[in-house]
Structures are given as structure tokens and as C-alpha cells.
């Protein structure tokens, strides 16, 4: 199943154009189905004082321009909350021959935070809370967000009754690493082997986020996509229901069944 939400978030992770009508599709965190549109009257873009002061420098060029922007986003559904986005603005080379320079907008925070999981209906509440905590800081600190996504795996394994501790040969109780817990989960529930492999990939991304400040937003979103699919494989019973119905249709050779 294609993860359209993750595709939209990956587009948001790239810079926004100055033209509000060209902004990427932004999902609504209230209804989880609508699209947020920027309110042109609310858009503000202001160059920083430091950036303005540098314009008198002999070597100044437009790429030195730095600022901040803010805007209110509105869902097509009138009952949904309005979302505020703030971020950084800069100037870079134009993307075509007739545009030498263009304004670039990079979001650093959405409030309320944007949804990250397409499979939210099948996600345990405790896991959802960990992912929601990550979504609040994703655009500002991807590495910290990756660490919170890693914590969501621990919570998922708790929900699946995968042990956290065991006694070693000396009788001392030790805490299992996340690697060991994923392996235990995979052995105990071989029907979820594919999901376990996805969780292992998410764990590695989370490890990098815990020890290094090198992750990009797109890297974290890739891990979120893996987690999203793993949640769907584990908790969405529609998969097994569809396989069962397909087997029944095959057994009937396509002829209509009795209701």
C-alpha cells in the first residue's frame, strides 16, 4: 500500500517556494484527511537585523540574506484547527534561466504538529503518543525526533508482550537491548517477520539520532515510513481478511458466493 502521507511529508521537508500557491500538500492534523492551505493575509517574511546590516559589505550578494517567516494554514473543513507554521527564509540561485535568485522558505515548526502515521487507526495509543512527541520536534531537530521514534519501537514491543528483561547465567536480571527484543519478537511471532525487519531498520536510524547530529528530516521520515508499514502489518486485520476473501473467491473460481 502506497504511503501517500509519507510522500507528502517528504515534499514538505524540502524548501517551500515564496509563491504560496506552489506550496506542497500539507496534511491536516485535526481531521487527518483534509489539506491545509496557506492564508495569504497571514503570511509574514522578515529579514533579520543582522542580515540587513551585511548589505553594506563590499562582497555582499543575495545569498547572504537570512530571515524568518510565519503563516497560518487553514483546512478546507471549517471545523478543523488552524495550524501555524514558522521557519527560516533565505535566498538561493533560481531554478530556471530567467530567474537569477529566488526566495526559499524552510519550515522549522508546525503547531499543532503534523501527523506522521498513515496507519494511525491501527496504532496503539502509547505508540501514537511517542510518534506524536517526535512530530513536534521533527522539523527543528531531526536527530532528537529519530530518538523518539526509536522509543516508539520499545513501546510497540511492550504492546506485543515482548520481554524487556531476563536473567543471565549468574541469575542477575539484565535489560535486553532493542536489537535483542526485536529478535525475540521475530522468533516468537514469525508471521510478523517482515514487520520485525522494518523495525530493525528504524532502530538503526534511531541509534544514529541518539549519538550523532547528522540526520536529515528525510532520513527520519524514511524511518517513520518503515514504522508505519510495520504497524499496518501487525495491527491492520484487513490484510488477513482480504487474503481470506481472495482464497474463497479462488475456491469458487470467481463465481458469486452465497450471502
Tens of pLDDT, residues 151-198: 999 999 999 999 999 888 888 889 999 999 999 999 999 999 999 999
pTM: 0.88
Tell me the pLDDT tens digit for each residue of 94-147: 766 777 889 999 999 999 999 999 988 889 999 999 999 999 999 999 999 999
Q: Which of 125, 235, 246 is closest to 191 using CA atoms?
A: 235
The C-alpha cell of 148 is what?
A: 523518539
**Euclidean distance between CA atoms 17 and 20, whole angstroms:** 7
**Euclidean distance between CA atoms 104 and 24, whole angstroms:** 13
Tell me the pLDDT tens digit for each residue of 49-59: 999 999 889 88
Q: Which residues of 56-83 are buried (b: 16+ CB within 10 A; e: fewer)?
A: eeeeeeeeebebebebbbbbeeeebeeb
Read out DSSP for 175-238? EPPHHHHHHHHHHH-GGGHHHHHHHHHHHHHHHHHHH-S---HHHHHHHHHHHHHHHHHHH-TH
- The pLDDT of residue 242 is 67
**Euclidean distance between CA atoms 40 and 71, whole angstroms:** 8
Q: How many CB atoms lie within 10 A of CB 194?
A: 13
pLDDT at 232 over 80: yes
User: Cα(first)–Cα(last) distance of the chain, in Å?
Assistant: 28
Q: Which of 1, 5, 2 is closest to 224 using CA atoms?
A: 5
- The pLDDT of residue 254 is 67
What lies within 8 Å, CB to CB, of 242 at 6+ separation is none
Q: What percent of the chain is predicted at pLDDT more than 70?
A: 96
- Are 25 and 35 a contacting pair, CB within 8 Å? yes
Confidence tier at 250 by pLDDT (50, 70, 90): confident
The C-alpha cell of 79 is what?
A: 471545523
Confidence tier at 239 by pLDDT (50, 70, 90): low
Amino acid at each position: 500500500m502506497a504511503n501517500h502521507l509519507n510522500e507528502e511529508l517528504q515534499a514538505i521537508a524540502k524548501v517551500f517556494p515564496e509563491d504560496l500557491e506552489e506550496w506542497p500538500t500539507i496534511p491536516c492534523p485535526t481531521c487527518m484527511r483534509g489539506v491545509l492551505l496557506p492564508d495569504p493575509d497571514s503570511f509574514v517574511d522578515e529579514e533579520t537585523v543582522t542580515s540587513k546590516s551585511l548589505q553594506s559589505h563590499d562582497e555582499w550578494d543575495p545569498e547572504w540574506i537570512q530571515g524568518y517567516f510565519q503563516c497560518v494554514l487553514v483546512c478546507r473543513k471549517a471545523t478543523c484547527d488552524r495550524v501555524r507554521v514558522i521557519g527560516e527564509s533565505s535566498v538561493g540561485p533560481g531554478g530556471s534561466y530567467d530567474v537569477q535568485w529566488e526566495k526559499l522558505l524552510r519550515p522549522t515548526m508546525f503547531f499543532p504538529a503534523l501527523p506522521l502515521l498513515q496507519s494511525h487507526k491501527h496504532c496503539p495509543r502509547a505508540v501514537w503518543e511517542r510518534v506524536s512527541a517526535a512530530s513536534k520536534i521533527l522539523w527543528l531537530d531531526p536527530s532528537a525526533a529519530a530518538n523518539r521514534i526509536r522509543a516508539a519501537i520499545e513501546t510497540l514491543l511492550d504492546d506485543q508482550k515482548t520481554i524487556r528483561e531476563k536473567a543471565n547465567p549468574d541469575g542477575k536480571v539484565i535489560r535486553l537491548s532493542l536489537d535483542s527484543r526485536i529478535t525475540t519478537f521475530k522468533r516468537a511471532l514469525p508471521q510478523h517477520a517482515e514487520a520485525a525487519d522494518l523495525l530493525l531498520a528504524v532502530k538503526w536510524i534511531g541509534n544514529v539520532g541518539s549519538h550523532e547530529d547528522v540526520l536529515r528530516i528525510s532520513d527520519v521520515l524514511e524511518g517513520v515510513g518503515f514504522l508505519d508499514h510495520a504497524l499496518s502489518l501487525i495491527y491492520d486485520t484487513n490484510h488477513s481478511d482480504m487474503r481470506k476473501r481472495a482464497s474463497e473467491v479462488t475456491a469458487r473460481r470467481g463465481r458469486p458466493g452465497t450471502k
